[in-house]
């Protein structure tokens, strides 16, 4: 029998709040943090709306470390420290080689890149900032988490656009099942609210001019957000042996590829990932009570995801609670799955399904129970979280009560 993998700590921050508890409380209330962007990022942009972290928590990380970090890495370290603290584990010379980290990111060090282009091309500076390369590399967040927490076990980054966090959970789970580590920090981070990244999204013409309304008939597109989420994963036996509080079980993962189009999703790819996740988790469709949908708020994505859910769950689809928390924290790209992990775990623990905020008009092509605007009390035995990315890289994770 395969070893069970459990979650013993969670951490996160985004526009909804500076820690996992605040993020979840905002989700419970159906409170969207999407609003007007501010700062220099607005120059020349048609995109005026997003979900910003207005003020970072008092993280206490020394300046000698922060000067080597882009914003996306700092988010990851803050979330990882919170998750590790909740888990109750102390990393020292006795276990450091058995604790690692996998951090997903969809973009790169965009803030650093923008700053350097401005210095070089606008201010005519002769050279880039000395830490440009280690700050911008997509794996920087994983390395910074390792250095800041003293983790010497398997540590690496993964990048698969909007499914990066779920691929990180899958990769971390593999390290534990293969016996390469006893504990893994896993999740995702993103800081895409930079001029260059937003100009790129602007060109795609799928960004909403006001807010994110997943599954609502009047939805106008995606909204960008920033943040991070991290979880401490370990085997059930390891957690029980040290007397840890187990929050939930990471029951399984499912992955697939559309092999079709770089941006347009298919029905078959997402459906295959959900089926693979159920099979890996040992769950029947009837065992799942909540689906945290990818739900980006674009016309095509929400319709296709609805059809895929119906294909996988059959008659049980009508009994599912579905919601898109992106309606509240926006689309945090590589970090979305990690923030949505918080929603799934807390839904299981508190018996409360977070809503799809900003919902106004039913769409006959999105006719599942999308939990419009108000959270709903419901026993959640198991929840799945969908991640369907550009490039057709799909990753779905399942959590269940212990």
**Catalytically active residues, by annotation:** 162, 294, 331
Helix (H) or strand (E) holding 227: strand 227-235
Q: Which residues pair with 252 in a beta bridge?
A: 398
Distance between CA atoms of 319 and 256, rounded to whole angstroms? 25
Q: For the chain, what percentages of helix, strand and coil (3-state, to nearest 5) are there?
A: 40, 20, 40
Spatial CB neighbours of 290, under 8 Å, sequence gap ≥ 6? 320, 321, 322, 323, 344, 347, 348, 353, 378, 380, 382, 383, 384
| Cβ proximity of 85 and 364 under 8 Å | no
Distance between CA atoms of 12 and 15, rounded to whole angstroms? 10
Distance between CA atoms of 267 and 305, rounded to whole angstroms? 7
Other C-beta atoms closer than 10 Å to the C-beta of 285 total 17
Whole-number Cα distances in Å, 374 to 186, 239, 353, 355, 371: 30, 35, 9, 5, 7
Distance between CA atoms of 138 and 157, rounded to whole angstroms? 7
| Cβ proximity of 382 and 399 under 8 Å | yes
User: For the chain, how big is the Rg over CA atoms in Å?
Assistant: 20
Between β-strands 290-292 and 321-323, what pairing exists: parallel, antiparallel or unpaired?
parallel
Other C-beta atoms closer than 10 Å to the C-beta of 121 total 9
Distance between CA atoms of 375 and 355, rounded to whole angstroms? 5
């Amino acid at each position: 029998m395969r070893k069970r993998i459990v979650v013993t700590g969670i951490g996160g921050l985004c526009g909804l709040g500076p820690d996992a508890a605040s993020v979840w409380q905002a989700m419970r209330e159906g409170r969207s943090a999407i609003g007007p962007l501010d700062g220099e990022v607005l120059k020349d942009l048609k995109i005026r709306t997003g979900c910003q972290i207005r003020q970072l928590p008092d993280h206490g990380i020394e300046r000698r470390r922060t000067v080597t970090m882009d914003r996306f890495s700092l988010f990851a370290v803050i979330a990882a420290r919170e998750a590790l603290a909740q888990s109750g584990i102390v990393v020292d010379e006795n276990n450091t080689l058995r604790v690692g980290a996998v951090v997903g990111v969809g973009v790169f060090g965009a803030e650093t890149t923008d700053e350097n282009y401005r210095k070089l091309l606008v201010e005519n500076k002769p050279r880039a900032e000395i830490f440009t390369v280690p700050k911008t590399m997509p794996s920087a967040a994983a390395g910074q988490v390792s250095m800041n927490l003293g983790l010497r076990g398997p540590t690496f980054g993964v990048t698969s656009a909007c499914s990066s966090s779920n691929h990180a959970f899958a990769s971390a789970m593999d390290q534990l099942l293969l016996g390469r580590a006893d504990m893994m920090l896993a999740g995702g981070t993103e800081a895409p609210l930079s001029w260059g990244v937003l100009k790129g999204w602007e060109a795609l013409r799928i960004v909403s001019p006001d807010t994110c309304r997943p599954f609502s008939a009047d939805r106008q597109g995606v909204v960008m957000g920033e943040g991070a989420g991290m979880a401490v994963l370990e085997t059930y036996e390891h957690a029980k042996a040290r007397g840890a509080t187990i929050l939930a079980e990471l029951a399984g993962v499912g992955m697939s590829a559309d092999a079709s189009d770089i941006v347009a999703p298919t029905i078959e790819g997402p459906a295959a990932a959900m089926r693979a996740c159920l099979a890996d988790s040992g769950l029947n469709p009837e065992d799942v009570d909540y689906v945290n949908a990818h739900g980006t708020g674009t016309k095509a994505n929400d319709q296709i995801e609805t059809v895929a859910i119906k294909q996988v769950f059959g008659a049980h689809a009508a009994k599912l609670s579905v919601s898109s928390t992106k309606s509240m924290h926006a689309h945090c790209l590589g970090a979305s799955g990690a923030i949505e992990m918080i929603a799934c775990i807390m839904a299981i623990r508190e018996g409360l399904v977070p809503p799809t905020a900003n919902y106004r008009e039913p769409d006959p092509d999105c006719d599942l129970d999308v939990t419009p605007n108000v959270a709903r009390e419901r026993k959640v035995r198991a929840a799945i979280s969908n991640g369907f990315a550009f490039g057709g890289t799909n990753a779905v994770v399942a959590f269940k009560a212990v």
